[in-house]
Amino acid sequence: MNWFVGFWLAGLIALLAYRLRLLTVGGAWAAVVTGVSVFGAGGVWASVPLVGFFFTSSLLPRMLGRPHTTEQRTATQVLANGLAPTLCCWGSVLFPAHSEAFWLGYLASVAAATADTWATEFGTRFGNPVWHITTRRRIPAGESGGVSWQGTLAGVGGACLVSFGGQPLLQAWAPLALAAALGTGGMGLDSLLGATVQARYRCKQCATTTERPVCCGVPAPRIGGRHGVDNNAVNALSTLATAAAGIALGSL
C-alpha cells in the first residue's frame, strides 16, 4: 500500500513543482522515482526530510531575494542529490536486518544536500568575508570552494533541521545527532571537491570565473579542475560518500 500511495503523492508533488516551474518534465519524473522509493520504504516520516530539502532548496533563492538564480531542476540535478537517498531506501527494503544503518545513511545524505544548499544560498547572499577552503584567499561570494561563517552556520542549521525532522526513523537522539554531524561533514566535502576537482572556467568576455563552459554566449577556457566534473557530479559524490559513511557507522 505504501508504494501505491507513494506513487500518487510523489506524482502530485512533482506535478505541483512542475506547475511552479521548479522542475522540468524530466526532473519531475526523476522526483517521482525518488519519492516513490522513499515513501514506499519508509512511509510519510521518511518523506518529510526529503520534501523539506526539495522545497527549501527550490524556494530559498526567491526568499532571499535572488530569484534570477532560480531555474527549473532537470533530472540530472534531481538525481545528483536524490540518488544516495534512493539507494539507501532500497537498501533498507532489500536488507531489513540492517535497515537502521540504511536509514542513518539516508538522513545523513539528505542532511548533506540540505546543508550544502543552505550554505550556498545564505553564503552567497550574506557571506562576508568568503574564503577559499584550500588556499584561504578571499574570493567572491558564490564561487566554488568558498566558505563563510554565515553560510556554514546556515548549513549546520539545515543539517540539524533535516536530521531531527526524521526522528521517527531512528528514534534515539544519538544517531540523529550523528546524521546531522555527517551531513555537516558532507557539506565540507562538497566544498572541498568544488575547490579541487570541479571544473572551473574563465569567460573571455567578462573575465569572471564560472562553473559553466559557456559564458556570455562563447566557450570559456577551463582554468582548473577535472574536465566533465560539474556541480551535479560534486553533489552526487558528496551525498553518496556521506550516505556510505552513515551506513558504515550504523552497522558497527
- Please say whether the beta carbons of 231 and 75 come within 8 A: no
Per-residue pLDDT of the chain (252 residues; tens, 9 = 90+): 678 888 999 999 999 989 988 899 999 999 999 999 999 999 999 999 998 898 888 888 777 766 555 578 899 999 999 999 999 999 999 999 999 999 999 999 999 999 999 999 999 889 888 999 998 899 888 788 889 999 999 999 999 999 999 889 888 899 999 999 999 999 999 999 999 999 988 888 887 778 788 888 888 888 888 988 999 999 999 999 999 999 999 998
Between CA 38 and CA 73 the distance in angstroms is 19
> Cα separation of 1 and 161, whole Å?
29
Helices (H) and strands (E) in the chain, counts: 8, 7
Identify the DSSP state of 67.
G
Distance of CA 236 to the CA centre of its chain: 8
Coil vs helix vs strand at 146: strand
**234 three-state secondary structure:** helix
Domain count, the chain: 1
What was the pLDDT predicted at 67? 56
pTM: 0.91
Structural domain that includes position 33: 2-250
Instruction: Please state whether 143 falls in left (phi above 0), alpha (psi between -120 and 50) or beta.
Output: beta
- Secondary structure (DSSP) of 96-128: GGGHHHHHHHHHHHHHHHHHHHHHHHHHHHH--
